[in-house]
Structure 1
Amino acid sequence: MQTFFSESTVKSLWGTLAGRLWRAWYRLKSKVRRTIDKSRRRAHKLQNRPRVYRVEIR
C-alpha cells in the first residue's frame, strides 16, 4: 500500500511540473503570436489608409 501511495505522489508531482511547464510555454507562445498579429494588423491598416481623405479633413 505504501509503495502505491509514493508512486502516485511521484506521478502527481511530475504531472503538476509538466502542467506548469506546458502552461508557461503555451502562454509564451500565445504572447509572441499575439504581438506578431498586432504588428501585422497595424501594418495592414497603415498600408490601406485612405491618404487623400486625411488631407481633405485638415
Structure 2
Amino acid sequence: MVEITPPTERSCERCGRMDIWDEEQGKWTIQVEDGERLVGDRHCIHEWDINGHYSPITNTEA
C-alpha cells in the first residue's frame, strides 16, 4: 500500500520565512517562535525548500 504524506513545514531559501501546515484551518500559517512570527521578507517571492528531495510517498507494505 502506498500513502501520500504532504509536508507539514516549509522554509523559504531566500529570506528564511518559516511556515507550518495548520490542519484545523487547512492552510499554511507563519511559524511563531518565542512570540515572534518568522515572516522573513514580506516582499520576497518565496522559494520553498520542498523540492525534488522531498518525497510525499510512503510505502506502507505489511
TM-score, length basis structure 1: 0.21
> Between Structure 1 and Structure 2, which shows a larger proportion of strand residues?
2
> Between Structure 1 and Structure 2, which shows a larger proportion of helix residues?
1
TM-score, length basis structure 2: 0.20
- Higher RCO, 1 vs 2 (CA within 8 Å, ≥6 residues apart): 2
